[in-house]
Amino acid sequence: MGGGADGVAYFGNLEKVSKKAVSFLKKQGYVKSMINWGDKFSLWPVHLMTSCCGTEFAAASGPRFDLERLGFLPFGGPRQTNLIVIEGTTTLKMARSVRIVWEQMPAPKWVIAMGACAMDGGIFYDSYNTVPARDIVPVDIFLAGCPPRPEALARAVVMLQESIVKNRPPAADIQVTAAPATSGSKDVVEAVSK
Amino acid sequence: MAYEEGFSIEKNSVEGAKMSASQDRATTANLTYDELAGLKAERELVLLIGPAHPGSGHMKIKVWMDGDIIQRVDPDIGFVHRTTEKLSENRLYIKAIPIVERVMLPDTINANLAYVIALERLLGIEPTPRAQYLRTLTSEINRITSHLYGIGLYGIFLGSSTVYMWAFADREPLIDLLEEISGARITYSYIIPGGVRWDLPAGFKERAETVLQYMEARLKDYEKIWVKNPVVMDRTEGVGIVSKSDAIRLGITGPNLRASGVDYDTRRAKPYAAYPNLDFNVPTFSEGDCYARLLQRVEEIEQSIRIIRQVLKDIPDGRIISDDIYSKMNPLQKRMYEMKHRVMFPAYMASMRPAAGRSTASVEAGRGEIFFYLVSNGDKVPFRFRWVTPSFLNLPFFTHVMVGQHLADLPAIYGSSDYFPPEADR
């Protein structure tokens, strides 16, 4: 510590200290845990009802089960959300929409496959018009039941929260790949690539 | 313009709309009729609503607009088509029950009942009187939960989250009642050929009466916050009117039909289960607008409460499964039935071979009339399995009613029809 001639007091080298502080915070993992904590309690599922488990999803958002206490708030636009709950069967026609919505969502994003149909076809396993969820998007949590009770959905959300904290790779290791341009005209694609 | 189907404005871009607006300002007096028609076509805008949209459910609605006024509506269905008919034609008769239930998830008992009645007619089995009353009881409880589901989602469509919260909270005690009878929350698979699977548990009547009293008290609260709410009335009165003749011509069914003044209810027109012995009204409204459809559901809940009270009072004693099925049980299953009043499936259920023939059944579900048509050729599986669901019958409603309305009224009209896409797509 020293004093300057013009009355300014210096407390060490500010640049050095700030670098030290940043490396300390990184090393201790406070920044990462802060981001994880934020993501953990802001899992906003997009309002995309793929099938009949949507009724139990609605009940789970209702007052008795009230998943909003876990930060689980259904939201309209895919751009503001970070979670898809695939509610049951996905038909070939719906699969395309699921994929488009998933591509529209900003990273980081998670997927819960709800119900036996989303896991492996369930009761509709031999239908000619259904696709398992894992063939459309990468799934983080599989949730059994036909349909799963709202408590089970709450459990899946808690499990996802735990996995966000435990298993999440450091920010540098998360690979964000550009979504393939399946939708939109040529002009749009060109405009984006510029 | 070669836009991909999905998230773009088709046919005419925003620039097109701007251009036509500037042309509007110029004089149109010396244009020919064809030129004027071309101008109008240029002004047309196509909006694609859904399936990732809170106001559409599992479907896409294509809307052609002129300014704020809807010109044409094309509901794009098939997002939840799970091929139940084809699947059921490859399963044993008894295994089709869960499949028909999955299609009508808020209203499973009625789907189950319709299928089982058609199957019983094919087999020539008659259920016992107690089973008939239990079928009516569960069917009416499920009708109330189905209507509350519709009311809750209509609340969301009109921007009233309170009503959604109320309706979904008040659905739970009724679901608890059904859970107590059948052991499942939503998918009960309660009704089987010849009767039902479980008897009423001890003390059920008292608990049911408590729930009914609670429900009646809540309906008065709903009147204050939902039915007589000035905002709700403003948004629904005089919007989406279907006249009586149009309702009949379009083949609309269920509460939507009765809200247009047609006094038709399958429970009375083609009686089944215990309905011939019960006293109930079929409420109708002559207006045919969204508000009438809203009131219709509230009135039907009141009638369902009345029916449930009568059933609990008049329910006869006796077996819950017909003698045909009981005689096919093995001794262990019979002992289990006598001890616990629980029906275990006899081996006959897995090898039912109805005689060659055909049968039909109609049931009034929460959203309208379900129609079943089964053809048997004497095999273990149905030769033809055909069913028509109420939501599919209500589909022409959109194309007819939304034309000429404002875009802002689209959610109000859509929600008032209580349309459930998985049910329509089967």
Q: For residue range A21-64, what is the model confidence (pLDDT) as tens digits? A: 878 877 776 777 777 888 888 888 888 888 888 888 888 988 88
Chain A residues with CB inside 8 Å of B58's CB?
49-51, 54, 94
Domain boundaries, chain B: 14-76, 84-425
A146 touches B: beta carbon within 8 Å:
yes
State the pLDDT at residue B27: 57
DSSP A115: S
**What domains lie within chain A, and their CATH numbers?**
37-166 (3.40.50.12280)
Q: Over range A69-76, report the average pLDDT.
A: 85
State the pLDDT at residue B146: 92
DSSP A46: B
pLDDT of residue A180 exceeding 80: no
Is the Cβ–Cβ distance between B246 and B296 less than 8 Å? Answer: no
B82 touches A: beta carbon within 8 Å:
yes
Give me the tens of pLDDT residue by residue for chain B, a chain 426 residues long: 344 444 444 444 445 455 555 555 455 566 676 776 666 666 778 888 878 776 667 888 888 888 888 888 888 888 888 889 999 998 899 989 999 998 888 889 999 999 999 999 998 899 999 999 999 999 999 999 999 999 998 888 888 888 989 999 999 999 999 999 988 888 888 999 988 988 888 889 999 999 999 999 999 999 888 888 888 888 888 888 888 998 899 889 989 999 998 989 898 888 888 888 888 889 999 888 899 999 999 999 999 999 999 999 989 988 888 888 888 888 888 888 888 888 888 888 888 888 899 999 999 998 889 999 999 998 889 999 999 999 888 888 888 888 888 888 888 888 888 888 888 888
Measured between alpha carbons, how far is B244 from B266 in angstroms, rounded to an integer? 18
Among A97, A129, A183, the residue with its CB nearest the CB of B82 is A129
State the pLDDT at residue A10: 61
Interchain pair A49, B51: CB under 8 A: yes
Q: Which of residues 43-72 of B touch A (CB under 8 A)?
A: 51-54, 57-58
State the pLDDT at residue B116: 93
Q: Give the closest-approach CA distance of A146 to chain B in angstroms.
A: 8
pLDDT of residue A190 exceeding 60: no
Is the Cβ–Cβ distance between B241 and B409 less than 8 Å? Answer: no
Q: How many CB atoms lie within 10 A of CB B290?
A: 29
State the pLDDT at residue B148: 92
Interchain pair A48, B99: CB under 8 A: no
Q: Tell me how many residue pairs between chain A and chain B have CB atoms under 8 A apart.
A: 113
A187 touches B: beta carbon within 8 Å:
no
To 10 degrees, the CA torsion angle through A60, A61, A63, A68? 110
Q: Which of B56, B76, B81 to mutate to test the interface with A (most CBs of A within 10 A)?
A: B81
pLDDT of residue A18 exceeding 90: no
B90 touches A: beta carbon within 8 Å:
yes
To 10 degrees, the CA torsion angle through B250, B252, B256, B258? 90
Q: Select from B267, B244, B246, B258 the least CA-distant residue to B297.
A: B258
Chain B residues with CB inside 8 Å of A50's CB?
58, 79-80
State the pLDDT at residue B217: 92
Chain B residues with CB inside 8 Å of A101's CB?
52
State the pLDDT at residue B133: 92
State the pLDDT at residue B110: 92
Interchain pair A183, B58: CB under 8 A: no
Confidence of residue A4 (pLDDT cuts 50, 70, 90): low
Q: Which of residues 71-130 of A touch B (CB under 8 A)?
A: 76, 78, 89, 91, 93-94, 97, 100-101, 123-124, 126-130
Three-state DSSP class for residue B172: helix
Interchain pair B171, A55: CB under 8 A: no
Radius of gyration, CA atoms only, chain A: 22
Among B8, B168, B186, the residue with its CB nearest the CB of A63 is B168
User: What tokens does B207 get?
Assistant: 């608990």
Measured between alpha carbons, how far is B20 from B1 in angstroms, rounded to an integer? 18
Residue range B84-425 in CATH 1.10.645.10:
yes
Measured between alpha carbons, how far is A89 from A57 in angstroms, rounded to an integer? 14
Nearest residue of chain B to residue A56 (CA atoms): B186
Interchain pair A100, B7: CB under 8 A: yes
Interchain pair B80, A64: CB under 8 A: no
A59 touches B: beta carbon within 8 Å:
yes
Interchain pair B82, A62: CB under 8 A: no
State the pLDDT at residue B238: 85
Among A47, A55, A130, the residue with its CB nearest the CB of B149 is A55
Question: For chain B, give me the number of helices (H) and strands (E)?
Answer: 19, 8
B79 touches A: beta carbon within 8 Å:
yes
State the pLDDT at residue B4: 43
State the pLDDT at residue B28: 58
Residues 6 or more apart whose Cβ sits within 8 Å of residue B371: B114, B360, B361, B362, B387, B388
Q: Give the closest-approach CA distance of A192 to chain B in angstroms.
A: 16
Q: Which of A55, A84, A117, A182 to mutate to test the interface with B (most CBs of B within 10 A)?
A: A55
pLDDT of residue A187 exceeding 50: no
Q: What is the mean pLDDT of chain A?
A: 77
B187 touches A: beta carbon within 8 Å:
yes
Measured between alpha carbons, how far is B10 from B217 in angstroms, rounded to an integer? 50
Chain B residues with CB inside 8 Å of A54's CB?
58
B3 touches A: beta carbon within 8 Å:
yes
Is the Cβ–Cβ distance between A115 and A147 less than 8 Å? Answer: yes
Q: Give the closest-approach CA distance of A136 to chain B in angstroms.
A: 15
